[in-house]
Structure 1
Amino acid sequence: MRILNICAYTWAIGGPARIIYDHTTEVVKQGHQVDILSPMTPGEKMYPVPEGARLIAVARTTPISNVYREFSIDLYKYLKKHIHEYDVVHMHGIWHFGSLAPFLIPSRAVKVITIHGLLDKWAVSHSKWKKDLVTILYQKKLLGQADLIQINNTDEEQDVIRYLGYRPKNMVIVPNGMKLDEYTRSHLPEKGLFRAKYGISPDQQMVLFMARLNIKKGLDLLLPAFQQVHEQLPHAQLILAGPDDGYQAETEAFIRKHRLENRVKLVGMLTDTIKKEALADADLFVSPSYSEGFSIAVLEAMTSGVPALVSDRVGFGDYIARYEAAWLTPLTCDGVAEGLLKILQDKTYAEAIANRAYKMVTENFDIRVVANQLLEEYKKVQKK
């Protein structure tokens, strides 16, 4: 089988790139061929390409792509010339040009769309006028025309039904997975390396936020919540690790206003080894997100043995609740603060949720199992 993934395959995009990487690693082992077609802007850091796969980087077409995400004439030209070579074209996300272009070119390739949480109520309500326009022009129609819609959970199932007004027959629930061995404690760097780089002493409790600096990630809740925590635990340290995505100026203003310069550090986007060093040194991982398709960052933290505070919108809140695998916070400042204090002050509780989280991940999200589930769905729609 020859598979083409279409996604902005960069470190900044986060979870979808990691999901493609892990899935591709597995399916290539089974003899399938995988290409990744990615619109890129000069200077962006490309995500690693799995051994045996191929990355086709095409230029975004500016300034149009600044308004209409991922717009790329070169992407269209590549598809026009090569789409007939693929058995499966897998589009990651909606609302952008990469999820439209394959439908503009006649082909026999199976067309697959992974929603990645982009029909969540919170996500739909932001930049609403653009999404309303895209909905009117083509988005609902294309979801109906896709051979397969992959969703990750029952929450996302309801999002699709609400958006379309019906449950499409072409929709299946297949959770995302990850390569677990890369993030187990035995494979992480030794402790203390990240703290040494950023001047964090061993006696300071380190809270790690690792995501784009975007309002949807819950920073408007986390920052005032951490201010409350700081009043009770003055040595606690909050690390904000991620690129600016529209909320860095507000974050820096909050830090200055409340004189938290020595307690909140913005360290930019972490990749590769330094990302693992941060997880090795963290006492707590926090993600009070309003909207996620399926948070790979949370899975990475849980696999690393870091106790987590998350909202139920991270993409697998039902699993977390069933296993009692994290502090599931309400989306309020006080709720986040309460959870942070509980984990930081109660070591027995922190260790218990970290152990249950590791059990949850290994039993449900091993990429070796999940990749085969998705391959089987590909094969089913091919037969049809």
Structure 2
Amino acid sequence: MHIVSYGGEDIRKKAFQAARVVPHLEDITWHLLADPNVKESIFCLQGRKTLHAVLTGASFVHIHGVWEPLLRKAASIARGKQIPYCVQPHGMLDVWSLKQKAFKKRLALRFGYRKMLSKAKFILALNTDEARLLEPLNLASPHLIIPNGVFLEEFERLPASGFFKERLPYIGDKRIILFLSRLHTKKGLDILAKAYAYIASSYPDVDLVVAGPDGGARDGFVDAIAQLDLNDRVHLVGALYGEDKLRALVDATCFCLPSRQEGFSVAILEALACGLPVVISDACHFPEVRVARAGAVVSLVPEDVASGLSAILDDTTMASAMGENGRRLIREQYTWPQIASSTIKGYTGILSTPMPVTSQRVSAHGKL
């Protein structure tokens, strides 16, 4: 399998870290192009050259994302070479996402991206909500619903606790609410700040740790925490990858992600696989958490998020049961071998000519 994507030195470092803990990553040929300048962003000169070379002899192209010229070019080259392809939008076509820079996206759909989507053999949605939210676009392509997953091998031997004592020694034995994701507006950091403010005084033994790279919302979150007088209770630790990420998940008391929009969060899956009870928003489109009793699915109202957190913090027996339920949910439904099998069945089931499992596939990605 080949992957084509842009990414600078930072992405190379992350890939090196991931290779040490993510199984089978060494079996992938990754064509990692330098971060694009303005000319490359518009014309995809380097991307086009690489795609033409990689797609020679390919039998299927799996496009991840929507709004990047590299992806539109991958679809165009695939059509020219008569190679079938699918598009996996990762939530980029739902109502909330389409409202962001709405005029630019309407123009983009008119001038090339609708064709990219409608000419796909299928659109791969991550959940039933995402599939439903595609309907207003009236795309010609059918859709499949296949979620994200995890490798169980990553979670068989979890690291020992003690990460936060090591990283934040001044917090002592406090319990931790962990947010682990990009610091972006859609992740609901402002909601989380207000929710934690509601409960902070009731739980002096519980601090909030926010982990993740800045996606534009860090400064606003820091300001909000200062205004709420919670600077000594909220800790930003930056991005965590590989072993550090697992250590943080193991060390936390619960995981919270009050997103305004998600395709299908791998961070939630990883938290569940580590046995963490989770508090997530209904906009995460993961109702199975509630059905499996692995956590709380709440509205985007800070009081509701606070209530979900309080319930877990108040009842350690229930929290432990939620953690076990989450582990079971992941084992039974959300492992990459299961997801891969479903995806291959999608390739072969929708295509008019069955494609052997051993044939070459190419994955084109937007920004990682």
**TM-score of the aligned structures, taking structure 2 as reference length:** 0.88
Correspondent of 2:145 among 173, 177, 180: 173
SS at structure 2 position matched to 1:100: helix
Instruction: Report the Cα distance in structure 1 between the residues aligned to 2:315 and 2:342, rounded to whole angstroms.
Output: 39
1:212 matched to 2:202? The reply is no
Instruction: Report the Cα distance in structure 1 between the residues aligned to 2:281 and 2:274, rounded to whole angstroms.
Output: 19
Instruction: Report the Cα distance in structure 1 between the residues aligned to 2:338 and 2:133, rounded to whole angstroms.
Output: 25
Kindly state the Cα deviation for residue 202 of structure 1 after the two structures are TM-superposed.
Answer: 5.2
Which residue of the partner structure matches residue 105 of structure 2? 131
The aligned amino acid for 1:181 is E
Instruction: Report the Cα distance in structure 1 between the residues aligned to 2:85 and 2:34, rounded to whole angstroms.
Output: 23
Kindly state the Cα deviation for residue 84 of structure 1 after the two structures are TM-superposed.
Answer: 2.2
Instruction: Report the Cα distance in structure 2 between the residues aligned to 1:131 and 1:77, rounded to whole angstroms.
Output: 26
Cα deviations across residues 207-260 of structure 1 (Å, max 9, x unaligned)?
A: 100000001001110001111111211231111101110101101111222232
Which residue of the partner structure matches residue 16 of structure 1? none
Cα deviations across residues 11-66 of structure 1 (Å, max 9, x unaligned)?
A: xxxxxxxxxxxxxxxxxxxxxxx111111134444423512211111123323678
Instruction: Report the Cα distance in structure 2 between the residues aligned to 1:200 and 1:148, rounded to whole angstroms.
Output: 52
SS at structure 2 position matched to 1:267: strand
Q: 1:89-128 maps to which residues of 2 (within 5 A)? A: 89-105=61-77, 106-128=80-102
Q: Structure 1: give runs of 5+ residues left out of the alignment.
A: 1-33
1:280 matched to 2:236? The reply is no
1:188 matched to 2:167? The reply is no
The aligned amino acid for 2:191 is L
- Aligned 8 A contact 1:194 1:274 in 2: no
Which residue of the partner structure matches residue 168 of structure 2? 198
1:147 matched to 2:124? The reply is no
SS at structure 2 position matched to 1:208: strand
SS at structure 1 position matched to 2:46: helix
- Aligned 8 A contact 2:262 2:284 in 1: yes
1:156 matched to 2:130? The reply is yes
How much is the aligned-residue C-alpha RMSD, in angstroms? 1.9
Kindly state the Cα deviation for residue 201 of structure 1 after the two structures are TM-superposed.
Answer: 4.3
Structure 1 residues 234 and 72, CA, compared in 2 at 3 Å: closer, same or farther? farther
Correspondent of 1:265 among 235, 241, 254: 235
Structure 1 residues 313 and 218, CA, compared in 2 at 3 Å: closer, same or farther? same
- Aligned 8 A contact 2:7 2:34 in 1: yes
Higher RCO (CA 8 Å, separation ≥ 6 residues): 2
Cα deviations across residues 171-199 of structure 1 (Å, max 9, x unaligned)?
A: 11122221123124xx1111113322222
Structure 1 residues 76 and 255, CA, compared in 2 at 3 Å: closer, same or farther? same
Between 1:117-126 and 1:270-279, the stretch displaced more is: 117-126
- Aligned 8 A contact 2:121 2:141 in 1: no
- Aligned 8 A contact 1:60 1:73 in 2: no
Q: Structure 2: give runs of 5+ residues left out of the alignment.
A: 20-24, 355-368
Which residue of the partner structure matches residue 37 of structure 1? 4
Which residue of the partner structure matches residue 314 of structure 1? 284
Structure 1 residues 84 and 65, CA, compared in 2 at 3 Å: closer, same or farther? closer
Instruction: Report the Cα distance in structure 2 between the residues aligned to 1:36 and 1:42, rounded to whole angstroms.
Output: 17
Structure 1 residues 200 and 299, CA, compared in 2 at 3 Å: closer, same or farther? farther
Which residue of the partner structure matches residue 13 of structure 1? none
SS at structure 2 position matched to 1:331: coil
1:374 matched to 2:343? The reply is yes
1:55 matched to 2:62? The reply is no
Which residue of the partner structure matches residue 347 of structure 1? 316
The aligned amino acid for 1:301 is A
- Aligned 8 A contact 2:123 2:141 in 1: no
SS at structure 1 position matched to 2:27: coil
1:226 matched to 2:196? The reply is yes
- Aligned 8 A contact 1:255 1:261 in 2: yes
Which residue of the partner structure matches residue 383 of structure 1? 353
1:87 matched to 2:59? The reply is yes
Instruction: Report the Cα distance in structure 2 between the residues aligned to 1:307 and 1:258, rounded to whole angstroms.
Output: 26
The aligned amino acid for 2:251 is D
Quick one: percent identity of the two aligned structures? 30
- Aligned 8 A contact 1:238 1:264 in 2: yes
Instruction: Report the Cα distance in structure 2 between the residues aligned to 1:196 and 1:229, rounded to whole angstroms.
Output: 25
- Aligned 8 A contact 1:110 1:382 in 2: no
Between 1:218-227 and 1:103-112, the stretch displaced more is: 103-112
Structure 1 residues 181 and 103, CA, compared in 2 at 3 Å: closer, same or farther? closer
**TM-score of the aligned structures, taking structure 1 as reference length:** 0.84
- Aligned 8 A contact 2:14 2:241 in 1: no
Which residue of the partner structure matches residue 295 of structure 1? 265
Structure 1 residues 323 and 65, CA, compared in 2 at 3 Å: closer, same or farther? farther
Between 1:71-80 and 1:57-66, the stretch displaced more is: 57-66
Which residue of the partner structure matches residue 332 of structure 2? 363
The aligned amino acid for 2:309 is L
Kindly state the Cα deviation for residue 123 of structure 1 after the two structures are TM-superposed.
Answer: 1.3
Q: 1:65-80 maps to which residues of 2 (within 5 A)? A: 72-80=44-52
The aligned amino acid for 1:57 is L
Cα deviations across residues 281-311 of structure 1 (Å, max 9, x unaligned)?
A: 0001001111111111000000100111001
Number of aligned residues = 343
Kindly state the Cα deviation for residue 382 of structure 1 after the two structures are TM-superposed.
Answer: 6.0
Instruction: Report the Cα distance in structure 2 between the residues aligned to 1:125 and 1:104, rounded to whole angstroms.
Output: 26
